[in-house]
């Protein structure tokens, strides 16, 4: 164990892990966080606090994690390189660890152009890989990037993102290897709507032995309607939705498309679970926490409590 | 110019030849003087048209498929982001091919330095912006890593 993280413990015990995304509110009231977190906490092992995802401003991830740890929840703090330089990020990592955050997801971040304030200055002082290495230096060497010693290092379980569905496809598994080399202990992927593509990706990952060096959680989520799917495909960076899925949604009557979307999501979870090297799923649905909880229940993931392996996996 | 960019094996040979040719003169190559101003001028007129160089002062072209990573809108030096469009274009500038899609393709055609694309690169030293990458490389300034980073 590197971190005292509950998510890490679940994964090392060989249980199929479930994480869910909590989109921060546009609110200064902690109750707005708790209302949403309560729904998710019952059904998942850790809650991801997004960091201005899609470059839209909301409550900060570090603030939301403070609120969550205060109430005993297990957050995964997402840190993006878009808005802060290395000085701010290292300080935030220490502050977050001091508040009890044990999981950090290191991201590059969407461009400012994708959000509601495209006039903003993009920072990108670090990239996701140098951020991972920086966080590992804080944890393992007990130093800042500058070499200055820490009084007490942060105990963190370090995560990274991967998108198996975006080009250049043959570089993606190698890039995942680079992230693990830089310090990633776990991986959460972009939305998976193309299971055959994921199978190809995971085959390469297994060839490289990467699934034995980091825990891989596959991103999944429901599509509300064919129209929403088309919008997402066109506007959300990195989301790839095959035409076949959109046709399937269109086939359902107008008011029922969300149910079909939910069914597709549950099917994908079940298929993904069978792929060797997959350690869990990460469920995302923008501000639809109840739906996420239903999906986790109906996919049979609450009965996942049996051990797949008896001993915790060592050597990672 | 795109002919040269699409011939990364020629560019990598030119890089290693230049490196070898300049190496004996290392003693005279110092930052901050007239020699550096000359180098900066030469780098601007050669690397800007060729690579759309942004004068970061820490050239890593041989590790990035002879494609300048600073032209990526996110300045990514370690690989593509997750936002690359299915047609291989940039998430932020839809008319632009993703720098890293090109970088990866070109690195596959570079027998000497191609595999350097797998190396984890340190964060940029922003103090070197606008200085001569050749002088920084040959004097070892560019290789000086943040103290915590070095193993």
3-class SS shares of chain A: helix, strand, coil, % to 5: 45, 15, 40
B147 is a domain residue: no
- B109: containing domain: 2-139
Whether the Cβ atoms of residue A134 and residue A126 lie closer than 8 Å to each other: yes
Q: Please state the φ and ψ torsions of residue A278, each to the nearest 5 degrees.
A: -90, 125
Write down the pLDDT at residue B131. Answer: 96
Span A6-302: which CATH code?
3.20.20.220
| Residue B150 belongs to some domain of the structure | no
Residue of A nearest to B144 (CA): A146
How does pLDDT run along chain A (316 residues), one tens digit per residue? 778 899 999 999 999 999 999 999 999 999 999 999 999 999 999 999 999 999 999 999 999 999 999 999 999 999 999 999 999 999 999 999 999 999 999 999 999 998 999 999 999 999 999 999 999 999 999 999 999 999 999 999 999 999 999 999 999 999 999 999 999 999 999 999 999 999 999 999 999 999 999 999 999 999 999 999 999 999 888 999 999 999 999 999 989 999 999 999 999 999 999 999 999 999 999 989 999 999 999 999 986 554 444 444 554 5
- Cα gap A298→A171, rounded to integer Å: 35
* Domain spans, chain A: 6-302
Instruction: Give the mutation candidate from A130, A232, A242 for the B interface (greatest B CB count, under 10 A).
Output: A130
A44 and A296 in contact (C-beta within 8 Å)? Answer: yes
Mean pLDDT over B82-92 rounds to 95
CA distance A206 to A200: 10
φ and ψ of B6, to 5 deg: -85, 10
Q: Shortest Cα distance from A88 to chain B (angstroms)?
A: 15
* Calpha distance A44→A21 (Å, rounded): 10
Task: Find, among B52, B93, B88, the residue nearest to B74 by Cα.
Answer: B93
The dihedrals phi and psi of A149, each to the nearest 5 degrees, come to -75, 145
| % residues pLDDT > 90 (chain A) | 92
Check A174 against B105: CB less than 8 A apart.
Answer: no
More confident residue, B23 or A104: A104
CA–CA dist A298, A48 (Å, integer): 21
* Residue A7 backbone zone (phi > 0: left; psi -120 to 50: alpha; other: beta): alpha
Tell whether B60 is covered by a domain: yes
Judge whether A158 and A104 are in contact, CB under 8 Å: yes
pLDDT at residue A251, as a whole number: 96
Which H helix or E strand runs over A179? helix A172-182
Nearest residue to A7 via CA among A117, A157, A119, A145: A157
Q: Is residue B145 part of a domain?
A: no
Distance from CA of A28 to the nearest CA of B (A): 30
Q: Contact B123/A145, CB-based, under 8 Å?
A: yes
Check residue A313 and give its pLDDT. Answer: 52
Interface probe with A: pick from B60, B69, B78, B97, most Cβ of A within 10 Å: B78
* Phi-psi map region of A269: left, alpha, beta (phi>0 left; psi -120 to 50 alpha): alpha
- Residue A222 CA to residue A259 CA, distance in Å, equals 9
Task: Return the pLDDT at B4.
Answer: 85
Determine whether the interchain pair A127/B92 forms a contact, defined as Cβ–Cβ distance below 8 Å. Answer: no
Cα of A309 to nearest chain B Cα, Å? 32
Number of domains in chain B: 1
**Residue B80: exposure state from Cβ atoms within 10 A (0-12, 13-18, ≥19):** buried
Rounded to whole angstroms, the Cα distance separating A72 from A52 reads 23
CB A113 within 8 A of CB B94: no
**B74/A124 touch (CB, cutoff 8 Å), yes or no:** yes
Inside any domain, residue B29: yes
Contact residues, chain A, for B81 at CB < 8 Å: 108, 128, 237-238
| Mutual angle of helices A86-98 and A61-70, in 10-degree steps | 10
Structure confidence by residue, pLDDT tens digits, B89-145: 999 999 999 999 999 999 999 999 999 999 999 999 999 999 999 999 999 999 999
Best of A54, A94, A111 to mutate (most B CBs within 10 Å, chain B): A111
pTM score: 0.94
Residue A194 to residues B72, B80, B139, Cα–Cα distance (Å): 27, 20, 49
């Amino acid at each position: 164990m590197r971190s005292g993280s509950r998510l890490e413990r679940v994964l090392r015990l060989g249980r199929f892990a479930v994480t869910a995304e909590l989109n921060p509110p546009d609110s200064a009231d902690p109750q707005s966080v708790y209302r949403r977190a309560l729904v998710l906490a019952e059904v998942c092992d850790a809650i991801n606090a997004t960091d201005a995802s899609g470059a839209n401003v909301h409550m900060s991830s570090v603030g939301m994690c403070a609120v969550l740890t205060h109430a005993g929840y297990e957050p995964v703090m997402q840190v993006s390189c878009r808005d802060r330089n290395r000085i701010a990020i290292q300080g935030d990592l220490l502050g977050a660890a001091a508040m009890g955050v044990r999981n950090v997801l290191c991201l590059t971040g969407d461009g400012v152009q994708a959000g509601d304030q495209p006039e903003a200055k993009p920072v990108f002082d670090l990239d996701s890989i140098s951020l991972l290495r920086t966080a590992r230096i804080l944890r393992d060497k007990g130093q800042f990037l500058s070499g200055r010693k820490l009084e007490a290092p942060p105990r963190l379980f370090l995560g990274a993102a991967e998108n198996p569905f975006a080009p250049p496809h043959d570089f993606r598994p190698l890039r995942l290897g680079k992230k693990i080399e830089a310090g990633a202990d776990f991986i959460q992927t972009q939305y998976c709507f193309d299971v055959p593509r994921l199978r190809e990706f995971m085959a390469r990952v297994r060839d490289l032995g990467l699934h034995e060096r980091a825990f891989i959680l596959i991103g999944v989520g429901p599509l509300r309607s064919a129209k929403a799917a088309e919008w997402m495909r066109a506007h959300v960076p990195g989301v790839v939705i095959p035409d076949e899925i959109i046709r399937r949604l269109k086939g359902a009557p107008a008011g029922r498309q969300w149910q079909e979307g939910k069914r597709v999501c549950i099917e994908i979870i079940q298929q993904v679970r069978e792929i060797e090297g997959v350690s869990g799923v990460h469920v995302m649905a923008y501000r639809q926490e109840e739906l996420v909880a239903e999906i986790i229940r109906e996919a049979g993931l609450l009965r996942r409590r049996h051990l797949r392996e008896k001993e915790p996996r060592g050597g990672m | 110019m795109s002919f040269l960019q699409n011939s990364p094996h020629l560019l990598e040979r030119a890089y290693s030849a230049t490196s070898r040719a300049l190496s004996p003169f290392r003693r005279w190559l110092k930052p901050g003087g007239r020699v550096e101003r000359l180098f900066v001028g030469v780098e601007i007129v050669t690397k800007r048209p060729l690579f759309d160089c942004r004068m970061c002062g820490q050239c890593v072209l041989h590790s990035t498929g002879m494609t300048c990573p600073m032209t990526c809108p996110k300045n990514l030096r370690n690989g593509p982001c997750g936002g690359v469009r299915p047609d291989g274009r940039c998430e932020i500038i839809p008319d632009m091919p993703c720098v890293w899609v090109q970088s990866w393709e070109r690195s596959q055609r570079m027998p000497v330095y191609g595999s350097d694309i797998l190396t984890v690169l340190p964060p940029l030293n922003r103090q070197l912006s606008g200085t001569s990458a050749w002088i920084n490389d040959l004097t070892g300034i560019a290789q000086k890593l943040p103290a915590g980073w070095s193993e």
